[in-house]
Chains A and B, each alone.
Chain A
Amino acid sequence: MQGFDWGTFVGVLFTIAVWTYLYKENPIWRVAEHIYIGLATAWSIGYYFYSYVKPTIMDDILTKHNWLYIVPVILGLMMYLRYFPSVAWLARYPMSFWVGYGAGYGLAFSFAPMLTWIAQTFVKLNSFNNIVLWLAVVTGLMYFFFTVNRENAVVKYGALVGRYFIMVGLGAAFGNTVLYRYNLFIDRARYVLGFLHLIK
């Protein structure tokens, strides 16, 4: 069996194990599913250790004496307090930092892209394509005007047109999703056929 590709053989077995789910739920699928969850959870442990934990403690704190790096260590470790009921509330502190800082990012960085989109909508309405683009943005937004009285004729008919544009957008999304999902399956099919030497 020299030269036999055991790695791909194992990969093909797991691929087929997942496909058995298409027939019906069964023990082979469940074994594959549980191995998948176990491995996916475990992978980051080794990765985090060598790419953050070790350099932060060994290099930044112990060698370079960069004491401010103790803060993320404490923040991260505080999360484990949630397993001790009497002090579990302390785990909210790091969570508050993560959520708060994330929200701050939303406030700090959402404006600029949005302003570009608005600015780029002020196109010259001198071609059919530009008119379509402009109409799609404006009427699409009208559809989302929930705070404006819909009795207003401009908003009412604008939102109606907007609904058709939204259908075009969702239709494109559906068509693209079909292609995307098929392509993922083709990738797996090629993997199996490649192992069987049925394709190059």
Chain B
Amino acid sequence: MRKEVPMIITALSALAAVFGNFFWLGHHWGVMDLLDNWFNRSFAFAALIGVINLSIIHINAIRRRKENWVYSLILLIAMYGYAILGLIQTTDGPQASWIYNNVLTPLDSTVFALLAFYITSASYRAFRARTVEATVLLVTAIVVMLGVAPIGAVLFTDKISSLAQWLLNYANAGTYRAFSIAGSLGAMATALRITLGLERAHLGGAQ
């Protein structure tokens, strides 16, 4: 019941998708319509998992007065306050959308934008023409950067833009096709291993 049934569910669910997509009868019976529906809606009913997990961690930190417990308190207030607000007035409500637009959006976009600084620092410290291969990589990166940004055409005529386009359209596109083919084969092999019960990481955790 504990290991076998989940393995059977895994295999049957995977086979149902294959049956639903590749077989006429699967289409006719609307196998995937039904399972898509179950799949998409079931997430909504498990949505509190994230809130509960964070609550357990941070309530513990507050109760034990761990170092920096005040931040845990701030997190919990923000989380519960915003969740309750969203439930009362929908996420589109006046206060909920105010928080979304003026707190969540600036925070999210600024955190991700921090990487501009680290990539600048990495370019200076780690990007070295140590070998011929590394030199090819480095030169391509510079041609693409200056070929895509308008300044390249101003400094080096539009030849650099054409070169960047050519690299992207042919040498690079072909390389990424090789990556994609290799990636697809890998993904299918992993999917097959999951279906056959050889890959069982998702059954780990609680015993």
Contacts and interface: CB of A to CB of B under 8 A. Distances in A.
Interface in A77-133: 77, 79-80, 82-83, 85, 88-89, 91-101, 103-111, 113-114, 117-118, 120-121, 129, 132-133
A134 B2 contact: no
B188 A106 contact: yes
A53 B14 contact: no
B161 interface: no
Given A37-B54, A107-B18, A136 B148 contact: no
A172 B45 contact: no
A41 B83 CA distance: 8
A85 B206 contact: yes
B172 A169 contact: yes
Interface residues of A, number: 114
Given A108-B18, A174-B141, A188-B109, A136 B175 contact: yes
A144 to B, nearest CB: 5
A11 B149 contact: no
Chain A interface, DSSP helix/strand/loop, else mixed: helix
Interface string A1-28: 0000001101110110011011000000
A28 to B, nearest CB: 11
B187 A42 contact: no
Given A15-B107, A77-B45, A113-B180, 15 more contacts: A34-B74, A35-B107, A38-B82, A39-B79, A41-B51, A72-B38, A76-B44, A83-B52, A88-B205, A100-B194, A103-B17, A110-B191, A143-B178, A165-B178, A191-B106
Interface of B: 1-2, 5-7, 9-18, 20-22, 34-35, 37-52, 54, 68, 71-72, 74-83, 85-87, 90-91, 96, 98-117, 119-120, 123, 127, 133-134, 136-145, 148-149, 166-182, 184-185, 187-188, 190-192, 194-195, 202-203, 205-207
25 contacts: A19-B110, A31-B71, A34-B71, A35-B74, A35-B78, A36-B111, A38-B75, A43-B104, A52-B44, A53-B45, A92-B6, A100-B194, A101-B16, A103-B13, A104-B13, A106-B190, A107-B18, A108-B18, A133-B173, A168-B136, A171-B140, A172-B141, A175-B140, A178-B141, A188-B106
